[in-house]
Amino acid sequence: MVRGRISRLSVCDVRFPTSLGGHGSDAMHTDPDYSAAYVIIETDAEDGLKGYGITFTLGKGTEVVVCAVNALAQHVLNKDLRDIVGDFRGFYRQLTSDGQLRWIGPEKGVVHLATAAVLNALWDLWAKQEGKPLWKLLVDMDPKTLLSCIDFRYITDVLTEEEAYEILQKGRVGNREREAQMLAHGYPAYTTSCAWLGYSDDTLKQLCSKALKDGWTRFKVKVGADLQDDIRRCRLIRDMIGPEKTLMMDANQRWDVPEAVEWMSRLAEFKPLWIEEPTSPDDILGHATISKALAPLGIGVATGEQCHNRVIFKQLLQANALQFLQIDSCRLGSVNENLSVLLMAQKFGIPVCPHAGGVGLCELVQHLIIFDYIAVSASLKNRMCEYVDHLHEHFKYPVIIKKASYMPPKDAGYSTEMKEESVKKHRFPDGEVWKKLLAGQEN
C-alpha cells in the first residue's frame, strides 16, 4: 500500500563524456555527452524508500531541465503519495497544466522532459512500496485503476476511455501465459551499438563481429550524413550479417521529405526493415508522404523518440505516417502518457518498438514494452526493443540481456536508481570526471 507524504525533492545534472569515443553519434548529433536530469523523491514514511527518476539529455541544456524540475517541485512537495496515485490523472494534469509553466510547453520541450523525470521518480517509488518491478505493478493493476492514470484529453477522437478498457479486458486473456513466456525467454531486442556514425570501419567490423557471436540477429546503422559513405557502410554491415538478418536505418531527422525518398531509394538494395526519423519529428504529413513512397520498396517508417506527446502520436497514427511506433520513457510524460500511446497503437494495429539507449532508457523502457506484450498487444510480430550497451554499469539494477532479449526485471521499482558513486563522480560540473575534463585533462 502506498504511504507517506513527500518531504523532499532534489535534482542534479549527471553527465557522461561519451563524445570522447564517438558513442551515440549520428547525422545530427555528432558529439553527444549522454546525460540525465536525475530526480530523487523522499517521503516521511518509516520505510525510508526513495523514488528515483531521470530524463535523458545530450549534455548542454541539462541544467535547463534541472531548473524546470525545480519549478515543478511546488506541485509535488507535501503531497500525500496516496492522494497522487489515487488520482494520477489529475496529478498528471496538474503538472502539465500549470498556468504559467505551460506557456513554455505545453506538454512539450524542457517542461515536459522535467515532468517525465518527476513522474518517473513517483512511479519508481510506487512500485517499490508495492514490492514489485514496474512492469509487474502495471500487469497486476485493475484495468480501471490503470486507466485512471491516463489523461485522455485531446485523444478521445481516436481512443475513448471505454475503448481503452475493452483493449485491456481483451489483453487479460492469456496474460499469465505471456508473463511466463517473458520470464522464461525475455523480450526480443536489436542493437544500435555497432554502427554509430562516428565509428571507424574497423570499429564497426569489430563490434558487429562480436555482436554476431553473442547471438544478435537485428542491427541498426546510422545514416544521413553522406550518401556514398552510407552505401559503403551499409554494404559492409549487410555483408557481415548476411541477407537473412534484420537491418534497420536511422537518419535522426537529417533530410527534407523529397531527399528522404531519394536517399532511401538508393539504400533500398540493402533491404532495411525501416528508416527511422527520416525528417523533422514534427512533420506528420511529411512522414506520411515518405511512408507512401517507400512502401513499394518494402521499407517502413519508424519514429517517436522525439515525438512531443500523445497528440503528435495520435496524428501520426491517423495519417498512416509510420509503420513502427517508437515510444520513449523520458520524452513523453512518463508512464502515464506512454500508456495512452501503447493503447492507441494497439487500436491502430501498429507495432511498438521503443527507443532506448542513452542514460537509463533501456532500464526504463523495458518495463513498458514487457507490460505492452503481456497486457495490451499480446503479440511479438514485427516487435523489438532497442538496446545500446553503454552506461548500464552506473545503475543499481541494470538491464539483463540474454540471447539478444531483455529479461524482465525482478527488483522492485522502475530500475531508475543510479549508483551513488557514479552520480558523485559524474555530477556536472563538480564531479571528479568533469573537474578533470573542464581543466583540459583526459578522463
**Cα–Cα distance between 365 and 162 in angstroms, integer?**
26
Q: Give the Cβ contact number of residue 410 at 10 Å.
A: 11
Known catalytic residue at 419: no
Q: What are phi and psi of 272, to 5 degrees?
A: -75, 145
Chain centroid to CA 4: 29
Residue type, 302: A
HEC string for 135-203:
HHHHHHCCHHHHHCCCCCCCCCCCCCHHHHHHHHHHHCCCHHHHHHHHHHHCEEEEEEEEECCCCCHHH
**Cα–Cα distance between 441 and 230 in angstroms, integer?**
34
Known catalytic residue at 355: yes
Contact 89, 339 (CB under 8 A): no
Cell of 326: 517508437
Q: What are phi and psi of 387, to 5 degrees?
A: -135, 135
Query: Cα 418–419–422 angle (5° rounding)?
Result: 100
**Cα–Cα distance between 17 and 229 in angstroms, integer?**
26
Query: Cα 247–252–255 angle (5° rounding)?
Result: 105
Total residues belonging to the chain = 443
| Catalytic annotation, pick one of 355, 367, 394, 426 | 355
Cell of 379: 503479440
Cell of 137: 505493478
Q: How distant, in Å, are the alpha carbons of 129, 193, 204 from that of 238?
A: 47, 15, 12
Beta bridge partner(s), residue 246 = 218
**Cα–Cα distance between 56 and 53 in angstroms, integer?**
10
Q: What are phi and psi of 384, to 5 degrees?
A: -165, 155
Chain centroid to CA 273: 20
| Catalytic annotation, pick one of 128, 132, 220, 222 | 222
**Percentage helix, strand, coil for the chain under 3-state DSSP, each rounded to 5:** 45, 15, 35
Please tell me whether the peptide bond between 429 and the residue prior to it is cis, using omega within 30 degrees of 0. yes
Find the distance separating the first CA and the last CA of the chain, reported in whole Å.
45
Closest CA relative to residue 165, chosen from 143, 149, 141 = 143
Residues identified as active-site: 222, 355
